[in-house]
């Protein structure tokens, strides 16, 4: 990691803060995917309702991400990043005290507001502070924090359900959500506002003209905004269709034990971690579009094999690695790409809208998978929606420009 050693102190501290924030977001968010089966039993809900609990978080994260992006362009990246982390952390802890489906639904919606904002603001912060020659690898490597948080969630799940009664184990997992709040202290002390943002603010104050949040829909930017939003829809729709339902798929259709499910998922998570790192390298090597095309093709092929073919336990274990590798590596170039597509006055706004529009539409996929699973089976439902999503990635990647090496202003 020569690029990391070449970064200055501010760049490294920003990298640590963004990496930690994304890892802790993953920990809090992915805990839900492990307890879906338990919640179905405890609160007597069906798969469709369980899917809604996943979908509502993603839908509200779309709102939160765009709102956080607009606020970050107005009040600063660092200040808004701290607020999103605190909001997300508090809501996650409160879910552990919920007494019925309606309370969980409300808290999952509120949780989504912070979840959407953290990535949108953190990614822009990284993109503006890190130099052009390191941007792709640095921002891409931050994405690998998701695999780290996911792995910790899997370990916590295995431990909690091994040592605690089921009725308390799922609550304890959400109470762990208090941890991200501690990251705010580090950010307050060590991470400054990007100089580029400060210059943009001074320029707008001097001219007494502030760029409208709706500028991303102006004739000059509408094509970029629309295609970027569709690109993010495909990448996230495919990812959420798989990761939301995969633990339940392994448990109900492959009939794996709790420990077995954790073991299989750890192989997928390891593949995800390496996929993020390889994707971070390829996004600078092949370019932003090249990275997206390679991983979209790999993702479609892996999901088809994993969910549609009749495999032995040993084969499934081995194939879990390329599944995680492909589904995650596609995100490594996304942050740098979106940062480079939008101009500074609306960068967080445009990036927040595009990524979270994709998240909002992609949020429908878990619910649709749940409904389709009633008639077609869970594996077929996952394969159908994820395959269509990655086809969308291929189409939009061809239509967007390459931005590798672009200086941002």
Give the other-Cβ count within 10 Å of 219's Cβ. Answer: 6
Q: CA dist 112 to 134, 170, 194, 366, Å? A: 30, 19, 26, 15
* Strand, coil or helix: 154: helix
Predicted confidence band at 315 (pLDDT cuts at 50, 70, 90)? confident
The confidence score (pLDDT) of residue 258 equals 46
Q: For residues 140 and 118, what is the distance between their CA atoms, to the nearest angstrom?
A: 16
Residue 259: is its pLDDT beyond 50?
Answer: no
Q: With cut-offs at 50, 70 and 90, classify the pLDDT of residue 278.
A: very high
Q: What tens digit of pLDDT does each residue of 239-254 get?
A: 888 777 766 776 777 6
CATH superfamily of 10-188+215-399: MFS general substrate transporter like domains (1.20.1250.20)
Tokens found for residue 295: 């991983």
Residue 300 zone, left/alpha/beta (φ > 0; ψ -120 to 50; rest): alpha
Q: What is the pLDDT of residues 23-44, one digit of tens each?
A: 888 888 788 888 888 888 888 8
Share of the chain above pLDDT 90, in %: 16
Contact 146, 276 (CB under 8 A): yes
Q: Name the residue ranges covered by the structural domains of the chain.
A: 10-188+215-399
Q: Tell me, what's the pLDDT at 204?
A: 61
For 286-312, where are the alpha helices, taking DSSP H only?
288-308
pLDDT digits (tens, 9 = 90+) for 266-277: 788 888 899 999
């Amino acid at each position: 990691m020569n690029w990391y050693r070449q970064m200055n102190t501010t760049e490294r501290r920003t990298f640590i803060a963004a990496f930690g924030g994304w890892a802790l977001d993953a920990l809090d968010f992915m805990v839900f995917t492990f307890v879906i089966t338990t919640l179905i039993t405890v609160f007597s809900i069906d798969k469709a309702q369980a899917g809604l609990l996943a979908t509502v978080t993603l839908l509200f994260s779309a709102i939160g991400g765009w709102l956080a992006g607009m606020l970050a362009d107005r009040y600063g990246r660092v200040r808004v990043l701290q607020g999103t982390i605190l909001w997300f952390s508090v809501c996650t802890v409160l879910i552990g005290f919920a007494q019925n489906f309606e309370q969980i639904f409300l808290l999952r919606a509120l949780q989504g507001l912070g979840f959407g904002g953290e990535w949108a603001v953190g990614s822009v912060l990284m993109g503006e502070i890190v130099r052009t020659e390191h941007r792709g690898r640095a921002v891409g490597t931050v994405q690998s924090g998701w695999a780290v948080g996911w792995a910790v969630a899997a370990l916590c799940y295995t431990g909690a359900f091994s040592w605690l009664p089921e009725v308390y184990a799922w609550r304890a997992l959400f109470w762990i959500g208090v941890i991200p709040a501690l990251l705010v202290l580090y950010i307050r002390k060590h991470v400054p506002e990007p100089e580029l943002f400060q210059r943009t603010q001074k320029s707008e104050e001097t001219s007494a003209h502030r760029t409208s949040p709706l500028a991303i829909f102006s004739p000059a930017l509408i094509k970029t905004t629309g295609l970027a939003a569709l690109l993010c829809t495909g990448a996230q729709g495919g990812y959420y269709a798989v990761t939301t339902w995969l633990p339940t798929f392994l448990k109900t259709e492959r009939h794996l034990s709790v420990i077995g499910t954790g073991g299989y998922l750890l192989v997928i998570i390891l593949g995800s971690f390496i996929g993020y790192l390889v994707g971070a390298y390829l996004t600078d090597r092949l370019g932003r579009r090249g990275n997206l095309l390679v991983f979209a093709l790999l993702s479609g092929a892996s999901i088809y094999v994993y969910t549609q073919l009749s495999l032995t336990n040993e084969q499934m274990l081995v194939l879990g690695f390329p599944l995680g590798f492909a589904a995650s590596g596609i995100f490594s170039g996304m942050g740098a790409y979106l940062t480079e597509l939008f101009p500074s006055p609306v960068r967080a706004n445009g990036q927040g809208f595009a990524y979270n529009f994709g998240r909002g539409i992609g949020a429908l996929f878990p619910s649709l998978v749940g409904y389709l699973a009633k008639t077609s089976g869970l594996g077929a439902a996952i394969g159908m929606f994820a395959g269509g999503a990655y086809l969308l990635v291929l189409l939009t990647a061809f239509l967007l420009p390459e931005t590798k090496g672009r200086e941002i202003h």
